[in-house]
Amino acid sequence: MAGGPQLLEADADAEYAAVIDIDLADIKEPILCAPNDPDDARLLSDVQGEKIDEVFIGSCMTNIGHFRAAGKLLDNHKGQLPTRLWVAPPTRMDAAQLTEEGYYSVFGKSGARIEIPGCSLCMGNQARVADGATVVSTSTRNFPNRLGTGANVFLASAELAAVAALIGKLPTPEEYQTFVAQVDKTAVDTYRYLNFDQLSQYTEKADGVIFQTAV
């Protein structure tokens, strides 16, 4: 593809099973999924103050911008975290770039458990949270016993998860906004997307690959 690979887009005449329109102006605060049902969506104000034991920032639902945002929030924190924090970028490419930008150092100094890139806690088959823990996770599912035996898992954004890791509970909407205001100041850089063609170590390997079509 001329100019390097780009994100895929749907055809202009693509047909969909359903179209759901959401006016983002109507959403005044973060929305979470409550334990232990991914269909049980709640406003943050409905569950604020819930004590949090462990936080997982990872899975294929995240991208590099989410880890930059979490890193910026963690970098401003002094002292030991009141929670057990797990960090698992979805790909080696993300991990390499975050390391180069200094975020792995931030995660390490904060006491986070840095997992190899991949699923980690998401499926509960590579690692598990403590039995009965209350967790905030950026993964896609929070079915009973998935992340840990008897665990109560909230699904939330990486930014909300990071705030919960910092204060040991689900924040109020006002507390949340105070924290994320720190990230909003540098949003353009923080959420800068990462394409494979932007990293020489990947393009150099890709250039040496020969694609063959079976006859």
Helix or strand (DSSP H, E) at 200: helix 200-207
Average the pLDDT over 63-76 and give the result: 96
Residues 6+ apart with CB under 8 A from 140: 38, 59, 60, 61, 122, 155
Strands 31-33 and 41-43: antiparallel
Residue 197 has pLDDT above 90, yes or no: no
Residue 127 has pLDDT above 70, yes or no: yes
pLDDT in tens, 76-105: 898 899 999 999 999 998 999 999 999 999
Residue 2 has pLDDT above 60, yes or no: no
Domain regions of the chain by residue span = 30-192
Lowest mean pLDDT of 158-167, 177-186, 201-210, name the range.
201-210
Residue 5 has pLDDT above 60, yes or no: no
Residue 3 has pLDDT above 70, yes or no: no
Q: What pLDDT sits at residue 6? A: 64
Average the pLDDT over 46-74 and give the result: 97
CA 192/CA 175 separation, integer angstroms = 25
Q: What is the DSSP string of 41-53?
A: EEEHHHHTT-B--
DSSP state of 185: T
Lowest mean pLDDT of 8-12, 168-172, 183-187, name the range.
8-12
Residues 6+ apart with CB under 8 A from 150: 131, 132
CA 51/CA 122 separation, integer angstroms = 21
Residue 168 has pLDDT above 90, yes or no: yes
CA 116/CA 104 separation, integer angstroms = 12
Residue 152 has pLDDT above 70, yes or no: yes
Q: What is the DSSP string of 83-151?
A: SEEEEE-SSHHHHHHHHHTTHHHHHHHTT-EEPPSS-GGGTSSS--PPTT-EEEE-SS---TTSSSTT-
199/62: higher pLDDT: 62
Q: Which CATH architecture has domain 30-192?
A: 2-Layer Sandwich (3.30)
- Residue 194: pLDDT band (50, 70, 90) is confident
Average the pLDDT over 10-35 and give the result: 95
CA 147/CA 33 separation, integer angstroms = 15
Distances from the Cα of 44 to the Cα of 98, 123, 143, 170, 184, angstroms: 29, 25, 20, 8, 19
What percent of the chain lies above the pLDDT cut of 70? 87
